[in-house]
A and B are shown apart, each in its own frame.
Chain A
Amino acid sequence: EAGVVQSPRYKIIEKKQPVAFWCNPISGHNTLYWYRQNLGQGPELLIRYENEEAVDDSQLPKDRFSAERLKGVDSTLKIQPAELGDSAVYLCASSTNRGLVYEQYFGPGTRLTVT
């Protein structure tokens, strides 16, 4: 079974530029998460999707961040414009909703550097 796929793995951009990250979850996983992980810290949830619906986006900085999961499968996270403080690793995870809570399977992450 293929795992969670993310691309690109690394991205370096100048501040004020836009950037997009892509995630393909494990087949059949209806829940998808985007996390931001700063160096030396634990992941922080940005947004959670149940199928194509964003059910928790309370931590997403909506002035510059946006996300979509149009067909309830792949998802894209966008930052426009990027700021220096956005440098971090962006993790995507997916899970099924069988049972109360759901083991999350993580992708390798995208390391973003904003210069």
Chain B
Amino acid sequence: AQTVTQSQPEMSVQEAETVTLSCTYDTSESDYYLFWYKQPPSRQMILVIRQEAYKQQNATENRFSVNFQKAAKSFSLKISDSQLGDAAMYFCALGDGQNFVFGPGTRLSVLP
């Protein structure tokens, strides 16, 4: 069975600083995708970034980037130049075409 673990229930970062959210996962599949989703207090889940497991290059979307370590089954999210609007719950998720599993989430606070 696929599992996703986020070991940081809460994180905080000063505005304009950089923060890294951790995620580890387990799957027996060779082909899979990893995602980071953001869920602001309004509760609409928004896709932040995705990574195809077969790609070695780490995905980047503006201020968001990932550090994908396939052998270690690690998939961390780095947020650069943090903004107040980045405050939200962040969920790491794993999908392999048959299953889609979310981690428990990390609540990120951004301090002005």
Contacts and interface: CB of A to CB of B under 8 A. Distances in A.
Chain B: number of interface residues, binned into ranges: 20 to 34
A108 B43 contact: yes
A100 B98 contact: no
B85 interface: no
Interface in B86-112: 91, 93, 95-105
A25 interface: no
Contacts of B46: 106
Given A41-B104, A100-B32, A102-B95, 12 more contacts: A42-B93, A42-B105, A43-B45, A45-B99, A45-B100, A48-B100, A100-B52, A100-B96, A104-B47, A104-B100, A105-B47, A106-B44
Contacts of B33: 100-101
A108 B44 contact: yes
A109 B40 CA distance: 13
B35 interface: yes
B10 to A, nearest CB: 10
Nearest to A55: B98
Contacts of B95: 101-102
